[in-house]
Chains A and B, each alone.
Chain A
Amino acid sequence: MAAPMELFCWAGGWGLPSVDLDSLAVLTYTRFTGAPLKVHKISNPWQSPSGIQCPCKKGTGRGGAGDQSVMQTSMCGQARILLINSFSISGTLPALRTSNGEVISVPHKIITHLRKEKYNADYDLSARQGADTLAFMSLLEEKLLPVLIHTFWIDAKNYVEVTRKWYAEAMPFPLNFFLPGRMQRQHMERLQLLCGEHKPENEEELEKELYQEARECLTLLSQRLGSRKFFFGDAPASLDAFVFSHLVLLLQAKLPSGKLQAHLRGLNNLCVYCTHILSLYFPRDGAEVPPPQQTPAGPETEEEPYRRRNQILSVLAGLAAMVGYALLSGIVSIHRATPARTPNTQALGMAEEDEEE
């Protein structure tokens, strides 16, 4: 019997089922189509099945870093169990493990695979609507995605107060020191390559231009959606999954510097669209947002096991360091207590005392 498909994606936060754009898009698509997936929400990309696995498994295929690897591993049952307990240095999320062990990590390819497995949200679309889907996804990728990357990863205030804070708190102990920084560098490089052709005189102009185009893109999406429930009538399609993931991140995250957010909030039909999908397909996650009293307690209780453990660890580490230093530098020395003294030595000791007096 084929194993069920498993989806590994970033954990939820900010009132959303996932904080990562690609994970959100894939999750939304699976909810739309009702695909029976086992969803693992993790906050450690090294637990993802994609990327280079350590220890190495016998398998064919290209092992590649980052999000372009489709690893084909032929494993027996035992090896697969080992895989779950191993980690991958350059693993990325989201990643789908199919029923025959193949790992797919590019979001578009994940959705193509789901379509092949007969979970197709675009089944009822006409040819022209399919063409429109392609066009609007290109629009999202070209105009909105760069600005989303900039808003969450490059803008200093947002990065420090929102993005890095979430990732650093969510990731386990040694990774939270360097992984968020590494992710930021990767995003910055990607953004530079995406917009590198324009080469304006200064960064501010580029920023202004990018945000201008993003605002235009949001307005266009709003005009295209009109007053409909979804982009193509009453049933959601893959385009809705992508648009929703892009918009809802911008809408829900509490950004200190949210220029685009303000513009999005002004487009009423898009806000209604997002909250409608969130309440319909992610009722549990969506319910976290309205009651403000619960939210301070919620994340704290989640953080508590980590915080307690980190506190104990740091105290122990400090103690060990102090004691070790004291011993090594001779401030404190441990003498083994000698057995009962012989009478000769005792007499000598007393004689010395007399001399001193």
Chain B
Amino acid sequence: MSLVAEAFVSQIAFLQMCNLPVKVVCRANAEYMSPSGKVPFIHVGNQVVSELGPIVQFVKAKGHSLSDGLDEVQRAEMKAYMELVNNMLLTAELYLQWCDEATVGEITHARYGSPYPWPLNHILAYQKQWEVKRKMKAIGWGNKTLDQVLEDVDQCCQALSQRLGTQPYFFNKQPTELDALVFGHLYTILTTQLTSDELSEKVKNYSNLLAFCRRIEQHYFEDRGKGRLS
């Protein structure tokens, strides 16, 4: 599972929701082309913008916005839920990638070090792992076990599920950037193969979240022919 994948899906979903045509291009030096070093990013005319937050602002400045119809209270709630997703889901994914020994050994180390020759691949992978572990300690996740992390993911999904309820999108009938962000994360969790299925099982417990993902996939991605959520 890659954090890049979540960002990618979130951004594509957001742009599709704004009815903005988007073309996906793969480049080997994408990281260096991006202004913040993070991929993916969008390239519009002679401007380059990366990360969902700045992209939303950029698109808003061009006159497209998904959250104009929200009142102040709803906008506050939307921002809060986006932070919840960033805080819990993103951190949990980072934890799984770098602090869960099984995943690290089987998937992450190999993938992270693959562009580099030996011994650089091992050194960089260990360095990155050490950095991530330091960060986890700073935010209080250092001593958490995998079960506790999965419980946090469950809590987060429960909160999202309760907020969504029976509505088609988080804020009634129109999707917002929150929907794009949540879809990005949940879709990636559900469709990425890991050493164990515990994470995706947690999400699958909530039928309305599953239905939400399917709905967005069918609505905005059907012409791509991807029907991976079944």
A: residues with CB less than 8 A from B are 62, 64, 67-68, 106, 127-128, 130-132, 134-136, 138-139, 141-143, 189-190, 193-194, 196, 199, 216, 220-221, 223-224, 226
Q: Mark B105-134, 1 if CB is under 8 A from A, else 0.
A: 000000000000000000000000000001
- B76 near A221 with CB under 8 A, answer yes
Is A139 within 8 A of B80, CB to CB?
A: yes
Write the chain A residue with the least CB distance to B158: A131
Q: Residues of B with Cβ closer than 8 Å to A?
A: 37, 72-73, 75-77, 79-81, 83-84, 86-88, 134-135, 137-140, 142-143, 155-156, 158-160, 162-163, 165
Best-buried of A196, A216, A224, A226 by chain B (most CB within 10 Å): A224
CB neighbours (8 Å) of A199 from chain B are 37
| CA–CA, A120 and B50, complex, Å | 43
Tell me the total A-B contact number using a CB cutoff of 8 A.
Answer: 77
Report chain B residues within 8 Å CB of A128.
162-163, 165
Looking at A131, A132, A141, A190, the one whose CB has the most chain B CB atoms below 10 A away is A131
Distance in Å: Cβ of A262 to nearest Cβ of chain B: 21
- Report whether A223 and B76 are in contact in the complex, using a CB–CB cutoff of 8 Å: yes
- CB pair B138–A132 under 8 Å, yes or no, is no
In the bound complex, do residue A135 and residue B84 qualify as a contact, i.e. CB atoms below 8 Å apart? Answer: yes
Determine whether the beta carbon of A131 is less than 8 Å from that of B159.
yes
A residues less than 8 Å from B84 (CB atoms)? 134-135, 138-139
Verify A223–B80 contact, CB threshold 8 A: no
A345 to chain B, nearest CB (A): 80
* Contacting residues, chain A, for B155 (C-beta < 8 A): 134
Partner of B73, one of A67, A130, A194, A224: A224
Residue of B nearest to A126 (CB): B162
Whether B81 contacts A135 by the Cβ 8 Å rule is: yes
Contact in complex: A132, B86 (CB < 8 Å): no
- How far, in angstroms, from A127 to B137 measured CA to CA in the complex? 30
| Cα distance A328–B215 in the bound complex, in angstroms | 89
Known A141-B87, A142-B87, A224-B73; contact A132-B140, beta-carbon cutoff 8 A: no
With contacts A134-B159, A142-B87, A223-B72 known, is A193 near B138, CB below 8 A?
A: yes
Residues of A within 8 A of B162 (CB): 127-128, 130-131
Contact A131 B73 (CB under 8 A): no
In-complex Cβ contact of B138 among A127, A189, A223, A226 (8 A): A189
- B-chain residues with CB within 8 Å of residue A127 when the two chains form the complex: 162
15 sample A-B contacts, Cβ–Cβ < 8 Å, listed by A number:
A128-B165, A131-B160, A131-B162, A132-B80, A134-B156, A135-B83, A135-B84, A135-B159, A138-B83, A138-B87, A143-B83, A193-B134, A220-B75, A224-B73, A226-B73
